[in-house]
Structure 1
């Protein structure tokens, strides 16, 4: 097989390139037009979904940027062009996955007069393969020999290339408003795009107004770089519960990668991303290398309305209800100087010593697909694994895979060689195992039944009254890894006509009836008020998280 010449020819011996010619091709001009129209017309217009407009600029930029960079640097070899592609891809990937890289890029753009905001979003990396498509589409134009023209005729293409360079540079740096209306993705935006000179303002610069409810104001005398992190879209919170102590209950793991803002003095930046779904209450984590400590902004949607905020405010009386004013001390350390509403909370990493944490997921009830053979099955093998789960094998006359069942210790009432039936209810969240008579049993065995239940409701058992009561006065704290927060519950149970007994999460009780007893193991019994379903197991909604094993068996004589 013969390899293509571009793979076998050394970079140093390949023909000289002229990247400027690629800037006059229909492909490059179309990508540039898409970049400009998308950033300045489509974003925020509502004509296209926000997720689409957020990606269009990335895709167009992967075509526009490498050739433009090569033309600006005057590179003439494939090695130089390859360097431009790698550089563009590396920078793009870094600022999309690393908040530190996003901070550095925002600072660099601030040095040249463009205050940027960058949304750290790894899903944007789907644009990287377009670099290869741009290389393949534009390289032939760069290699094409220059026609022999008179001096006056040669000037026209060069002027056109110069115009393309200027337009490409302008559209690549200048971006749309940082706060598009709901439904638009704020991928990269300025705190306030630099406008025309205005001698009525001391700085000589006009900053675009922004749409925001809560917003940050740089009241210091130096440029400030901060990162605002919205709650992950999947996170659910009970606003009343979270309001008790947002600095403690809203832990870092609940927030996304965020947006990095480069803010010149007196400028404003929206605290939250308006393109995200509406909530009854909002929380934003604010971080930055120059901040003394990160802090949490928390407010109800009805508390602060979205309105047009001036891009720059020099008169303190002009601040709106959502203003959070940042100031710096003599050492340049930035902190909150004041806020128009009481929405600022210090991050508290030290919960009370007696705080209740959500029950560990390792203690959850779990099982593989149950062997629903439709009849009695004999337990032929029963092993207790190192993770505490039971491995069961059956002989039912058909091929049934090994079944795994994870339960509290000592709650499984059956042994090897016994015959049982297995039934599944409530979409698989309730199992009932019952001991039955086998072919070799002379007499019917004692009736033993086990019910395993998980979900958002207290299960119902025959002859049993069970209810849960949330313990509202207990101190609570987030799960250290996932951020989920739950209140403990007490479970009261009465079996047949016996007395009421109370159990707590993780507890076990046994109730005696006339001829049978009911043993209960409570793996989870809590009310979840903040939920991160990305990493938390159990129900995917706020509310009761209840997991119990119930075993009914004959009373001991």
Structure 2
């Protein structure tokens, strides 16, 4: 595990001079949960040390200073001047570097994530203009159904064919689940009800797969992908999404590849996974995406209803 914790994740170093038989607390005695520190000393190799408040043996070391307790480590200098750490094997790890993943396990580019800018106008609106940008973001100009007040929104997604065109009436809304959020654009008919057949765009991101109507989505690890450290120090591994549902063909999504699944009723979903990772270590001041540990899922989906 130490290979997934680069030095950049640790706080500023503190140093002490310890005389023989003295001991010193590396962490405050009231520290709770799982904690980790990097320690180094003259004649000692650097080590990454894990402490947990749960079920660690007590090791008593005779000396002066802090009273030794759970998770104690003894620094011993051999007769030849080399230092060693006396502690349980589960506690002390040699730091190292994780291998750079390649192929389907390669680090995912944050530039490929979905986005919808700072402002999303909601309600029943008419599409006045659609302007694709060279950066992968599309500007969509929208005006009120009755009136000339206009607003612009942006959608940044993998390449896709929008299910609406200039002049169409659409409903724009925000959808929120327990750990994800989506922008949904639905084409409307002349009566300002969802058009038949249905044509709808979903752009989603969060710590879980979105709840797409009629589909069942499951997040699964990508076979053969191990944990690796990204430029922000986060420990990540690639994940994929398996889609299916009653009457739908099952399919597994790959990053950046549009996958179409049809139902026995004639509905079709075309889904593209823009970003899919699981994160076990996170620097939320540097990393993009959800603030917590766990899944980091972003996708875009186009739903076409069955012809009546």
TM bin, normalised by shorter chain, reads 0.7 to 0.9
CA distance in structure 2 between the aligned counterparts of 1:468 and 1:254, rounded to whole angstroms: 28
Q: Which has the larger radius of gyration?
A: 1
- Residue 32 of structure 2: which of 278, 284, 301 is its match? 278
CA distance in structure 2 between the aligned counterparts of 1:365 and 1:526, rounded to whole angstroms: 14
Matched, 1:498 2:251: no
1:307-318 residue pairs with structure 2 within 5 A? Answer: 312=64
Preserved CA contact (<8 Å) 2:269 2:301: yes
Matched, 1:249 2:4: yes
Matched, 1:339 2:86: yes
Residue 362 of structure 1: aligned partner: 111
Residue 121 of structure 2: aligned partner: 372
Matched, 1:298 2:69: no
CA distance in structure 1 between the aligned counterparts of 2:78 and 2:72, rounded to whole angstroms: 20
TM-score, normalising length: structure 1: 0.46
Preserved CA contact (<8 Å) 1:486 1:528: yes
Structure 2's unaligned 5+ residue stretches are none
CA distance in structure 2 between the aligned counterparts of 1:423 and 1:467, rounded to whole angstroms: 24
Shift in CA distance, 372/268, structure 1 to aligned 2, threshold 3 Å: same
Once the two structures are TM-superposed, the CA of residue 498 in structure 1 deviates from its matched residue by 3.4
Once the two structures are TM-superposed, the CA of residue 467 in structure 1 deviates from its matched residue by 1.6
- Residue 482 of structure 1: which of 226, 232, 239 is its match? 232
| Deviations, residues 340-380 of structure 1 (Å, cap 9, x unaligned) | 21122111124265594663322222222444342122232
Preserved CA contact (<8 Å) 1:304 1:322: no
Which structure exhibits the higher relative contact order, with contacts defined as CA atoms closer than 8 Å and separated by 6 or more residues? 2
More strand by share: 2
Residue 425 of structure 1: aligned partner: 175
Residue 159 of structure 1: aligned partner: none
1:431-510 residue pairs with structure 2 within 5 A? Answer: 431-437=183-189, 447-471=198-222, 474-479=225-230, 481-494=231-244, 496-510=246-260
Q: Count matched residues.
A: 296
Preserved CA contact (<8 Å) 2:98 2:229: no
- Residue 269 of structure 1: which of 21, 24, 43 is its match? 24
1:366-405 residue pairs with structure 2 within 5 A? Answer: 366-384=115-133, 386-396=134-144, 397=147, 399-405=149-155
Matched, 1:516 2:304: no
SS of the residue aligned with 2:17? strand
1:314-325 residue pairs with structure 2 within 5 A? Answer: 322-325=72-75
CA distance in structure 1 between the aligned counterparts of 2:240 and 2:249, rounded to whole angstroms: 16
TM-score, normalising length: structure 2: 0.79
CA distance in structure 1 between the aligned counterparts of 2:164 and 2:78, rounded to whole angstroms: 68
Preserved CA contact (<8 Å) 1:491 1:503: yes
Once the two structures are TM-superposed, the CA of residue 450 in structure 1 deviates from its matched residue by 0.7
Preserved CA contact (<8 Å) 1:489 1:527: yes
Shift in CA distance, 405/327, structure 1 to aligned 2, threshold 3 Å: farther
CA distance in structure 2 between the aligned counterparts of 1:349 and 1:371, rounded to whole angstroms: 42
SS of the residue aligned with 1:402? strand
CA distance in structure 1 between the aligned counterparts of 2:116 and 2:16, rounded to whole angstroms: 47
SS of the residue aligned with 1:248? helix
CA distance in structure 1 between the aligned counterparts of 2:288 and 2:167, rounded to whole angstroms: 34
More helix by share: 1
Once the two structures are TM-superposed, the CA of residue 324 in structure 1 deviates from its matched residue by 3.5
Preserved CA contact (<8 Å) 1:411 1:521: no
Once the two structures are TM-superposed, the CA of residue 500 in structure 1 deviates from its matched residue by 1.3
Question: C-alpha root-mean-square deviation of aligned residues, in Å?
Answer: 3.6
Shift in CA distance, 376/322, structure 1 to aligned 2, threshold 3 Å: same
Shift in CA distance, 327/303, structure 1 to aligned 2, threshold 3 Å: farther
Preserved CA contact (<8 Å) 1:367 1:405: yes
